[in-house]
Amino acid sequence: MINVCFYDGTQLTRGGAELIQLPVAEGSYLWLDLEQEADKSELRIFDQFGCHPLTVQDARRPRHPPKTEHFSDQSFVLLRELTANDGLEF
């Protein structure tokens, strides 16, 4: 599933993959939330936005601690939900 938020500097629009095709001008922001997306579709999105290969590798791992990476024209935020199978003990 792809959830997209697009902010053009004045208005926030929420939707799906169709918003990825909008031009992202200076002062605009695009937030992509990929969850259980098909491999081919996910890789196509990573390619479209020129994501660094190591970032793609981290994003595709089933388990990874939270992280943020900032590049010149994009930021990468990786968050995974905690599940009962994560082996955390309290």
Q: Which domains does the chain have, with CATH numbers?
A: 2-86 (3.30.460.20)
Q: What is the identity of the amino acid at 49? A: F
Non-local CB neighbours of 70 within 8 Å, separated by 6+ positions: 76
pLDDT in tens, 12-70: 999 988 888 877 778 888 888 888 888 888 888 888 888 888 888 888 887 888 889 88
pLDDT for position 23 = 73
CA–CA separation, 41 and 46 (whole Å): 9
pLDDT over 60 at 88, yes or no:
no
> Position 90: which residue type?
F
Q: How far apart are CA 52 and CA 2, in angstroms?
A: 20
Phi, psi of 26 (to 5 degrees): -55, 135
81 in helix, strand or coil?
coil
pTM: 0.68
